[in-house]
Amino acid sequence: MKPKILIIGACGQIGSELTFKLREMYGSSNVIASDISYSNLGVVNTGIFEVVDARSYSSIKICVDKYQIDTIYLMAAMLSATGEKYPMKAWDLNMESLFHVLNLAKSNVIKKVFWPSSIAVFGPTTPVESTPQYTIMEPSTVYGITKQVGERWCEYYFNKYGVDVRSLRYPGIISWKTMPGGGTTDYAVEIYHKAVTDGAYECFLSENTKLPMMYMNDAIKATVDIMEAPAEAIKVRSSYNLAAMSFTPKEVAQTIQEIYPDFKMSYSPDFRQAIADSWPRSIDDTKARADWGWHHEFELQDITREMLFQLDKKYHSPLKKSN
Ligand code: SER
């Protein structure tokens, strides 16, 4: 039987592409997209859409009852950089929404939950290279604290109440359809937009700041795969390490220069540098690969080629292109 899905935070960077993918897989009538406002017309106008406030239990419950939802993807969150500006708001949104969804699942209304975690669960005392699944986790950002605490609660609800919750520690996600918002890894998306529109980019991280990254298609594949896997295969009920590649701003710039030789890169690190410096440089995701067969497909050069191609189409008219 097909799942009846609610996506909370469907207008965001990952939520939007997840919505398109799940509609394709299960049919539009089985996938309800929702967000706090109509902020992504590509999502709103192409299937069922409801306004849902992730901080409100009743707002989520009304939608769950209306459509007899049995599966929730909770994609709403305040990310690392914005979270440092509004710590209490980040705490409230990220934690309240998770509790609402876990409690719906505990009372058996919801059968399966996806909740994203992040590399932000790690901190300055974590081993920085090939960070293991199980290691020291002392996050220094509010976002990281909410994700780490959230992971503990997911595992607790699984052990104590049998809630089928599944989670991935996403690295920075690169995509061209919807902009990310408020993250520390966002430079790796902005750089491609600026390369196409301005031919130059001033990066808010320093040139050798290496961070784990992934192309959106791989992130969506991982999300779908972990949710489709048999419950017995999911051995980690906090959250799985998930990796594809790691690179620095300088290395992305070099791949762009292979296609746009005049592209100019400059660096002006801001408060986000300290956040990036507290995170791992690379991730060991052996457990995800062994337990449910995760593997990635896109490498940096593939991403650069695809991002520049898609964004060039998006920004430049066909008339201009053919000249
Ligand atoms: N992309 C996120 C951020 O930068 C990390 O999960 O906040």
pLDDT at 49: 98
The pLDDT-based confidence of 1 (bands split at 50, 70, 90) is confident
Rounded to an integer, the average pLDDT of 274-291 is: 98
Rounded to an integer, the average pLDDT of 104-109 is: 94
Task: Check whether 95 has a pLDDT greater than 70.
Answer: yes
Q: Does domain 173-213+243-315 have CATH number 3.90.25.10?
A: yes
Which atom, in ligand 1's list, is nearest to the CA of 119? 6
Catalytic residues: 143
Among 119, 147, 187, say which to mutate for ligand 1: greatest number of ligand atoms within 8 Å of CB.
119
User: For the packed helices 187-197 and 300-315, what is the interaxial angle rounded to 10 degrees?
Assistant: 50
Residue 202 and residue 194: Cα distance in Å, rounded?
9
Count of alpha carbons within 13 Å of 159, Cβ hemisphere only?
Answer: 10
Q: Hey, whose CA ends up nearest to atom 6 of ligand 1?
A: 118
Task: Check whether 211 has a pLDDT greater than 80.
Answer: yes
- Residue extents of the structural domains in the chain: 5-169, 173-213+243-315
The pLDDT-based confidence of 320 (bands split at 50, 70, 90) is low
Task: Check whether 317 has a pLDDT greater than 80.
Answer: no
Task: Check whether 323 has a pLDDT greater than 80.
Answer: no
Instruction: Report the chain's mean pLDDT, rounded to a whole number.
Output: 97
Q: What is the 78 CA–ligand 1 centroid distance (Å)?
A: 9
The pLDDT-based confidence of 204 (bands split at 50, 70, 90) is very high
Q: Hey, whose CA ends up nearest to atom 1 of ligand 1?
A: 172
pLDDT at 76: 98
Q: What is the 1 CA–ligand 1 centroid distance (Å)?
A: 34
Selection from 234, 177, 182 nearest residue 21 by Cα: 177
Task: Check whether 322 has a pLDDT greater than 50.
Answer: no
> Within a 10 A sphere around the Cβ of 152, how many other Cβ atoms?
12
Rounded to an integer, the average pLDDT of 302-314 is: 97
Rounded to an integer, the average pLDDT of 61-67 is: 98
Residue pLDDT, tens place only, 259-277:
999 999 999 999 999 999 9
Residue 10 and residue 118: Cα distance in Å, rounded?
18
pLDDT at 321: 47
Question: Are 165 and 154 spatial neighbours (Cβ–Cβ below 8 Å)?
Answer: yes
Rounded to an integer, the average pLDDT of 214-219 is: 98
Among 14, 186, 209, 272, say which to mutate for ligand 1: greatest number of ligand atoms within 8 Å of CB.
186
Q: How far is CA 43 from CA 13, 14, 27, in A?
A: 11, 12, 14
Fold classification of 5-169 is Rossmann fold (3.40.50)
The pLDDT-based confidence of 319 (bands split at 50, 70, 90) is low
Which atom, in ligand 1's list, is nearest to the CA of 81? 7
Question: Are 296 and 214 spatial neighbours (Cβ–Cβ below 8 Å)?
Answer: yes
Pocket of ligand 1 (CB under 6 A): 79-80, 118-120, 143, 170, 172, 183-185
Q: What is the 120 CA–ligand 1 centroid distance (Å)?
A: 7
Share of the chain above pLDDT 70, in %: 98
